[in-house]
Amino acid sequence: MAAFAFYLFAGLLLTSGLMVITAKNPVHSVLWLILAFFNAAGLFILLGAEFLAMLLVIVYVGAVAVLFLFVVMMLDIDFRALQRGALQNLPLGLAVSGVILAEVLLVASGWTAGQGVIVHEALAGPPPGMSNTQWIGSQLYTRYFFVFSMSGLILLAAMVGAIVLTHRRRVGIKKQSIAAQNARTPAATLGVGKAGLGQGVEL
């Protein structure tokens, strides 16, 4: 059963990964990418990492990919020009991917788990009486607290940078101030007067 599920998820993952780069329409590519994320979450569940699986779906499928889709749907792409460009750059692309493949093979064949990487503890699983989620939390906020907060700060810096780059102060626009609207009273805005015949009122 578990083997069947593994091959199902892994097969779908590879297929959708292939479809991401071969699909003609970029929106279809993003949809295939979402299927790939989803199957990766399935593989996490098979590994017993249900918390990571849910986070993968929430963060990548639920938020990041929505924004991808948002941007890609708005793009106005000339597919012909894109394909011509792809053919021109094919040799260079093949060379780069060949180098990367060779590096991956070299590392994968020669690598032994060793100094600096704490593998044995991580593989032991959560101590008794503790769920997966609690265990991740207790490790992340004690032992890896520095790394964790540093990654948070890096993300914050990226966010501030993006806002600074895109923010512009526009002049001459009317902005709604909801607090000011709510603070209005009839006494300050409403006047009741009597208009005599043919005289009008003074404002």
Partner 1 sequence: MSYTGWFVDQFGAGPGWFLANLTLILAIAFPVMVGVAVAVYADRKIWAAMQMRRGPNVVGPFGILQTFADAAKLFLKETIIPTGASTGVFLLAPMISFTLALVVWAVMPFDAGLVLADLNVGLLYIFAVSSMGVYGIIMSGWASNSKYAFLGGLRSAAQMVSYEVSMGFILVSVMMVAQSLNLSDIVMSQKGNVLGVLNGNIFNPLLFPMAIMFFITALAETNRPPFDLPEAEAELVAGYQVEYSSMSFALFFLGEYANILFMCALIPTLFLGGWLPPLDLPVLYLVPGFVWFLGKMALMFFIFAWVKATVPRYRYDQLMRLGWKVFLPLSLFWVVLVSGWLMFTGHFASLPA
| Residue span binding partner 1 (CB under 8 A) among the ranges 5-13, 25-33, 104-112, 151-159 | 25-33
Position among 19, 28, 43, 46 found at the interface with partner 1 (CB under 8 A): 28
Residue with Cβ nearer partner 1 (47 or 105): 47
The residues near 38 (Cβ < 8 Å, ≥ 6 apart) are 57, 61
Rounded Cα gap, residues 60 and 66, in angstroms: 8
Indicate the DSSP class of residue 63.
I
Which residue number, 73 or 86, has a Cβ lying nearer to partner 1?
Answer: 73
Between CA 184 and CA 114 the distance in angstroms is 69
Report CA-CA distances (Å) from 60 to 36, 38, 66. Answer: 11, 9, 8
Asked if 113 is part of the footprint of partner 1 (rule: CB under 8 A), the reply reads no
Q: Looking at the DSSP assignment, which residues form a beta bridge with residue 196?
A: 200
Asked if residue 178 binds partner 1 (CB under 8 A), the reply is yes
Instruction: Give which of 23, 21, 59 is closest to 40, Cα–Cα.
Output: 59
The residue (of 93 and 137) whose beta carbon lies closer to partner 1 is 137
Applying CB under 8 A, which part among 26-34, 97-105, 159-167, 188-196 lies near partner 1? 26-34
Choose which of 8, 14, 47, 63 interacts with partner 1 (CB under 8 A): 63
Kindly determine how many residues on this chain lie close enough to bind partner 1 according to the rule CB under 8 A. 30
d(CA 140, CA 134): 10
- The binder of partner 1 chosen from 10, 12, 15, 50 (CB under 8 A): 50
Binding-site string for partner 1 from residue 122 to residue 151, where x marks contact by CB under 8 A and - marks none: -----x-xxxxxx---x-------------
How many angstroms separate the Cα of 35 from the Cα of each of 40, 42, 45?
9, 11, 15
Give the whole-angstrom CA distance, residue 124 versus residue 52. 17
Residue type, 42: G
State yes or no: residue 159 binds partner 1 (CB under 8 A): no
Applying CB under 8 A, the residues found at the interface with partner 1 are 1, 25, 27-28, 31, 34, 50-51, 54-55, 57-58, 61-63, 66-67, 69-70, 73, 127, 129-134, 138, 176, 178
